[in-house]
Amino acid sequence: MNDQLGVLIAATLSAGTPIALAGLGLLVNERVGVVNLGAEGMMLVSALAGFAAAVQTGSAALAFAAAAAAGAFLAFCFGSMAIWLNTNQYATGLALSLFGVGFSAFAGVAYTKEKLPPPASYDLPILTDIPVLGPAIFR
């Protein structure tokens, strides 16, 4: 029972972190008065860039940097159009979202059969033995 709960907590942390980070970024946008409806497209293109970098290089650090660079580039495109060129924020965000969906589907076809190597395991003797949180965080 404890192992199943640990796996559930690990899956929740793994799946919820990207959405929480995107929500934090959108919160900052909303606080300054910018409506960004293209966050999903940015996340898809960033995920594709990170996965492609991980497959090509095998490095998690380079994959993270590639994903961050792709997301920053698309955020710069949205910001330059919506803020400096005064385009409609709703239309620009929806166009960015549609672009992200289409581009990630088109460019991601080459990576559909690729698999990543298993991640490194950080087995800390005392912390791994904690009943529920040990397997969830340290395995």
Q: What does the radius of gyration of the chain's CA atoms come to, in whole angstroms?
A: 18
- Distance CA(122)–CA(135), nearest Å, equals 11
Domain assignment present for 15: no
Q: Among residues 47, 90, 89, which one has the least CA distance to residue 70?
A: 47
Domain assignment present for 69: yes
Domain assignment present for 73: yes
> Has this prediction a pTM greater than 0.85?
no
Domain assignment present for 84: yes
**Domain range for 96:** 35-130
- How do residues 68-101 score in pLDDT, each as one tens digit? 999 999 999 999 999 899 999 999 999 999 999 9
More confident residue, 88 or 136: 88
Q: Is 65 within 8 Å of 121 (Cβ atoms)?
A: no
- How do residues 95-132 score in pLDDT, each as one tens digit? 999 999 999 999 999 998 888 877 776 667 777 777 77
What is the number of structural domains in the chain?
1
Domain assignment present for 65: yes
Domain assignment present for 30: no
- How do residues 18-36 score in pLDDT, each as one tens digit? 889 888 988 988 898 888 8
- Predicted local distance difference test score (pLDDT) of residue 125: 76
- Distance CA(78)–CA(30), nearest Å, equals 14
Domain assignment present for 67: yes
Domain assignment present for 5: no
What whole-number percentage of the chain has pLDDT above 90?
Answer: 47
Segment 58-72 shows an average pLDDT of 94
Handedness of CA 102, 74, 40, 120 (dihedral sign): positive
Q: Is 99 within 8 Å of 39 (Cβ atoms)?
A: no
Lookup: tokens for 62: 């380079």
